[in-house]
Amino acid sequence: MECFLPFTQLHRSEVKTPTTPIFGHSLIMWFYLVTLVGLYYLLRWYRERQVVSHLHDKYVFITGCDSGFGNLLARQLDRRGMRVLAACLTEKGAEELKSKTSDRLETVILDVTNTDSISAATQWVKEHVGDKGLWGLVNNAGVFQAFAYIEWCRPEDCMSIFQVNLIGLAQVTLSMLFLVKKARGRIVNVSSVLGRVALFGGFYSCSKYGVEAFSDVLRREIRDFGVKVSIIEPGSFKTRMTDAELSIEKTKKTWEATPEHIRESYGQQFFDDFCNTTRRELKKCSTNLSLVTDCMEHALTSKYPRTRYSAGWDARLFFIPLSYLPTSLVDCLLAISRRKPAQAV
């Protein structure tokens, strides 16, 4: 009977095959995914290219303008025609900055660890901005004591770092916040990739984690007033804080002041290896500081600034991906890359 004929004798047209293979479905899915991602980045690119109007009428106050990022940003915004109010720690730093900028730029001496100094600077800014308010506040001032393990440091080292990097930043912000609210402006806080992943840096990393938290809370609390808060997370850049020889000198002084029983637990060979590694890595720091200041400028001038800016190839390709890995895996990778202390178990 026909129904018992072998399968091979059936007509080929009677054999049903899938009209669209599984590979085709996957290809279509990936096409839509790539298209959506491309459209997202195209839309973000378009939004971020839109610039706020009347930049030449807007005042920006920047801390830590003696050198480094703050100094370069002050000159960069001045060239763009904005009204820069630059805070320097020393008279020498202020004079050098003014010699390189236009008459629009004004300087003031500010010690972010001194409450009276902050109050005086706030009054000075208020007199300059008048009814316009302060469009931009850039908290750039910061310090780095020494590259060292936390156990090698003294309590006073901890306090001095927190006083500048976190407490001073918060006090300046709270003191000038009413002026920023009046202008519905921007607050830009300089953190670090070490505020994302605390691989080293001791109390410096701790202070930058504080900056991240302070900025997040502030952004969510004052968004209804039209104020935007951005965080800058630079990678490794060559500034006074990362000068290789100066940093190693500070590290050696910290080590020499460490109690003997702690030094014995790590061993001299461990310390020497730590110094060599630190020196080698510091010499790799980028000299292109504009990668950071361009992020700051965008946060101040774009209609749609980002919440966080990562500056530098190491920030984008190493620290940011590392921050999404499981903590146990990061700890394991770090342990493999380091020499063990003399008395390690």
Q: How many helices (H) and strands (E) does the chain have?
A: 14, 7
For 20, counting Cβ atoms within 10 Å of its Cβ (0-12 exposed, 13-18 middle, 19+ buried), the class is exposed
**Residues contacting residue 201 through CB under 8 Å, at least 6 positions apart:** 144, 147, 192, 194, 208
| Known catalytic membership, residue 204 | yes
∠ Cα 190 196 197 (to 5°) = 130
Can you list the positions of beta strands (E) in 7-143?
59-62, 83-88, 106-109, 136-139
Among the options 40, 41, 149, 204, which is catalytic?
204
Residue 54 is classified by DSSP as -
User: Per this entry, what is the length of the chain?
Assistant: 345
User: Catalytic site residues?
Assistant: 204
